[in-house]
Chain A
């Protein structure tokens, strides 16, 4: 069964929600984070064309749909164990209902406050769909709602002769301060309504009837809620219930200002048929006490049924009109007369120049293809390019172009945003700051017992020949300039000459260090060839801790990313050496293989451990075709930490997102 249903805006405010079983806010937060913001492709989304996308988290399944033009997200949460087939329909129906009913309120600018009485609509929808499904029923009595205008009356609690229980507007009083001032006056309403006896004089009864008319809509609503949440009340209490709601209504009429009231007025409009019916029944109120009372009894129960029916009709009409609109728009775009199409083409062209054109999938198809080709030319892997274009399409379909902007410009801006979003790291990339916190734990004013300093371990992995050793020595040089004592561990025990290569680097670095002076120091830790790399790495870390080195850089053998045998040794390596950071070197020259490389290396370290960042080497050789940066980040969601931009030790750079986006969009 459904656990929770929420309607929230993209700015983060929950507009309406209904909770059957309380769930943590973090479930929906992680949905927004993973799907909407970080757009993690692999985050357990079942790609099914016919169904809405789902997202699973902590035993819950979330389904959602969006209303782009109003910036709304509709999320349904239920337990993964239960299979609910009607959620898709519920989401669609609720979206149609909600957007139709409150479109004007939602379009209001500069406000977050939003009040609605959506509860009866929602409950009816759920009940209906469940009936269709024949599935389990929802425990409605356990439901709590934080809808601002809750209307549930205390329908079953009133006995025959008790004074009326706190009138239901008091429920609302908390929300509306002004109400409390009038509350006493409603309590002292001079109509004595002892429920068993009818009003003594016909005049009073007439008054009662007259008053009833403008407000009866509320009674019906309240009754519908009551009927939803509780079994039908017995006949005895009905007149009393009625008078009670009458009073409440009067008070509301006076005080309620703003949306809630307007909303009710619009509902009133729908009910013209029902009202006519009612007035014909009430045509002769002066005929006698008995007659009135019996008719009111009769209508009361009849009304309850009738109201529900009508609410359904209203909902159905809204939903069907929304569907019809959708269908007609689809039809219009598909087949229209010669005149219509040419006129449409002309206004379309005009709109394209001036702006204000509502974008459709067809409008976007051609420019997006061009954009995709452009990205492919920039050496972005096809997979990443397609995904970027899809995200742009999702972003733009249904939106209006700005004044004096063409579709192409709009797509361009949207693509820049998408690129910036994908490249911007979510975690801090300040390597020095991390090293500092590990090697010299700050005597922060809060910590009583600082942890023991230990060496910071950084290891580098990658495919053969991408420049692992070269970039390792560049990083070493950068750390040496910051006066760290660095140990380089030669854990490439496979390729001949690998240790010698590192030895040469260390000799050069030593020379540079002595020239510059300061406390920096660099050395190599080597155990020759043929031994197990993971053990050497472990020994190197122990050695560094003993000798007081601050940073250990571990070089590893290059390996092909789709060679299972070679990749499996990485898991042991990660376990034994336990590096603080594992960086993968990828070259900017590689094409679409970069996606697979990044994925395979990211998964190679076993559960709970992945790559921490990328080093993209040889960036100076590709000019503006830096698409590999996007491909790799796309594949894993892991940020690019360093860029290699030349042959010298100093040619190491951090990634500037602005720069990358500019190059890619050139």
Chain B
């Protein structure tokens, strides 16, 4: 028994043909197997991507389907984020192709990009914040969808619940973007990350026009900022590091907040109106244009 084992081992280490063949096969196949095993799930391409955020019920997933197929599909509350590959429509030109001649065949190519849809429900916003905490280098912009019909309030005096929710979410996102700038290691700072506030559902009678959506959100964020400044500390904050931990949105947290203030931290904000669903079909040309500008 022992003898046979020894024989076998000697053979296995000797330069015999089967051993060489087996070794060659293993040496060749192993890297391929490891590669396929590890990388089969990875996306091979690195397309530019846009993040779709906004409160629940604002029409993010519907917008996503319009971006992809041209017509809205029926949707329900989202529970998981989804990524979709989208092509710019021929009517919109990407910014990088601005100087190409009309007859240049490459100008006809419609650039592709990814749109990442996130759930808007209060308990699931973590997905969006995760994306923003470590932004991908291919993230070209953020589209904040807001239901402009929910911003006007029924009861006078109180601001609508929809407005408060949207403003709070937007405030948190802008604060994260500002932290990205102030917490940057290099002196150059992170690249520009534009935000589009897509005022959706403009086809409804009660909807505010884009300009009013802008001022309503600005006013509400101002209020949120002041109450946050006066509010209690988080339980996570230890007493020794009282003031350093907190950050205020915009110019030191004083006075009125305007979206223009965010340009200091490389976050230009634009408010454009449109509607995903409507009697005359969807009108999202303004949003396409903005996306074209970022590509």
B231 adjacent to A112 (CB under 8 Å): no
| B235 close to chain A: CB less than 8 A | yes
- Which residues of B are found within 8 Å of A397, using beta-carbon distances? none
Given A110-B114, A113-B68, A432-B227, the answer on whether A71 and B80 have CB atoms closer than 8 Å is yes
What's the least CB distance linking B223 to chain A, in Å? 7
* Complex interface residues of chain B between 65 and 114 (CB less than 8 A to chain A): 65, 68-69, 73-85, 114
- Which residues of A are found within 8 Å of B134, using beta-carbon distances? none
A450 adjacent to B123 (CB under 8 Å): no
What's the least CB distance linking B229 to chain A, in Å? 9
| B282 close to chain A: CB less than 8 A | no
Of the candidates A110, A643, A659, the one having the most CB atoms from chain B within 10 angstroms of its own CB is A110
CB closest residue in chain B, given A146 = B74
A111 adjacent to B85 (CB under 8 Å): yes
Of the candidates B41, B85, B236, the one having the most CB atoms from chain A within 10 angstroms of its own CB is B236
The 0/1 profile, CB within 8 Å of B marked 1, for residues 443-456 of chain A is 01111111100000
| A442 close to chain B: CB less than 8 A | yes
| B26 close to chain A: CB less than 8 A | no
User: Bound state CA distance, A660 and B212, in angstroms?
Assistant: 39
- Which residues of B are found within 8 Å of A451, using beta-carbon distances? 155-158
User: Bound state CA distance, A558 and B242, in angstroms?
Assistant: 35
* Complex interface residues of chain B between 30 and 71 (CB less than 8 A to chain A): 37-38, 41, 43, 61, 64-65, 68-69
CB closest residue in chain A, given B229 = A432
B73 adjacent to A430 (CB under 8 Å): no
- Which residues of B are found within 8 Å of A619, using beta-carbon distances? 235
A12 adjacent to B78 (CB under 8 Å): yes
User: Bound state CA distance, A445 and B43, in angstroms?
Assistant: 48
Size of chain A's interface in residues, with CB distance under 8 A?
65
User: Bound state CA distance, A292 and B190, in angstroms?
Assistant: 77
| A256 close to chain B: CB less than 8 A | no
B228 adjacent to A656 (CB under 8 Å): no
B157 adjacent to A652 (CB under 8 Å): no
A-B CB contacts (within 8 Å), total count: 169
| B215 close to chain A: CB less than 8 A | yes
- Which residues of A are found within 8 Å of B165, using beta-carbon distances? 428
The 0/1 profile, CB within 8 Å of A marked 1, for residues 216-252 of chain B is 1001000110011011111111000000000000000
User: Bound state CA distance, A36 and B124, in angstroms?
Assistant: 11
Given A11-B80, A112-B84, A430-B227, the answer on whether A441 and B157 have CB atoms closer than 8 Å is yes
- Which residues of B are found within 8 Å of A125, using beta-carbon distances? none
CB closest residue in chain A, given B120 = A12
| B159 close to chain A: CB less than 8 A | yes
CB closest residue in chain B, given A425 = B122
- Which residues of B are found within 8 Å of A430, using beta-carbon distances? 168, 224, 227-228, 231
What's the least CB distance linking A410 to chain B, in Å? 15
| B150 close to chain A: CB less than 8 A | no
12 contacts between A and B (CB under 8 A): A33-B121, A37-B124, A112-B64, A112-B69, A112-B73, A426-B123, A436-B223, A437-B159, A444-B157, A450-B157, A451-B156, A653-B235
Residues of B whose CB lies within 8 Å of any CB of A are: 37-38, 41, 43, 61, 64-65, 68-69, 73-85, 114, 117, 119, 121-126, 152-153, 155-159, 164-165, 168, 212, 215-216, 219, 223-224, 227-228, 230-237
Further 8 A-B residue pairs, CB within 8 A, beyond A421-B123, A451-B156, A642-B232: A12-B76, A113-B69, A441-B157, A444-B153, A444-B157, A444-B219, A645-B235, A654-B233
A-B complex: 9 closest residue pairs judged by Cβ atoms: A441-B157, A12-B78, A447-B156, A11-B82, A659-B236, A656-B236, A656-B234, A451-B157, A110-B85
